[in-house]
Amino acid sequence: MQDPIFSDSTLAILGRPKTAGQDSAAAQLEDEVVCLYEKFRNRLLRYLLSLGLNAHDGEEVIQETFLALFQHLKRGKSRENLQGWIFRVAHNLGLKQCGRNLRRSRRWVAAGDGVAEAQPDSSPNPEEQLVNGERRERLLAVLDALSEQDRWCLNLRLEGLRYREISRVLGMSLGAVSISLTRSFARLARADRR
């Protein structure tokens, strides 16, 4: 009789019937991922909204990110700097979604359909604008005028990522992160002084 393709030891790990231990390990991992979700969800969603996604697409990207995290951890891959990992995956998926939305909106425009879907959510109400006044508008105008990369850097920093983490998320050098943030803060400080 031929040998089985997988050794008994491999099967012992991979193919054994589900046991109470396995149930509990899977449940533990699910709990851990949900805990991480609770910890990061708001920061990630803010970041994704700042990329230009609407809340629905942002939520979907975050779901995809944490399903990927679940697989990542289940395969026993590195747990080093999970924050950076989570933001990197969400950033990449977010950009992909932005691209889809852009293509879609271009097509609607070209077709003269007039459907203005996938736009960022509506702007704040008039009362809020009155309260926050000109300063707020100035800062928002500066944020809008930043280059895409400067805005990504700034938003990641404002969500608490360290330079090293930002450099990994965006694939930039540490020096480039520092220069980008300096450029942004210099503009914001100037706008704030006016």
**Given candidates 46, 77, 147, 173, which one binds another protein under the rule CB under 8 A?**
46
- Tell me, what DSSP letter sits at residue 124? P
Task: Write down the least CB distance from residue 70 to another protein, Å.
Answer: 6
Nearest to 191 by CA among 141, 130, 128: 141
**Given candidates 82, 95, 176, 181, which one binds another protein under the rule CB under 8 A?**
181
Q: Which of residues 15-44 bind another protein (CB under 8 A)?
A: 15-18, 22, 26, 30, 33-34, 37-38, 41-42
Q: Rounded to 5 degrees, what are φ and ψ at 147?
A: -65, 160
Residue with Cβ nearer another protein (79 or 190): 190
Task: Write down the least CB distance from residue 80 to another protein, Å.
Answer: 20
**Given candidates 163, 165, 170, 172, which one binds another protein under the rule CB under 8 A?**
163
- Cα diameter, the chain: 85
Burial class (CB in 10 A: 0-12, 13-18, 19+), 167: buried
Q: Which of residues 47-76 bind another protein (CB under 8 A)?
A: 49-50, 54-57, 59-60, 62-63, 66-67, 70-71, 74
Can you list the pairs that 136-140 forms with residues at least 24 positions away whose Cβ atoms lie under 8 Å? 138/191, 138/192, 138/194, 139/188, 139/191, 139/192
Residue 145 near another protein by CB under 8 A:
no
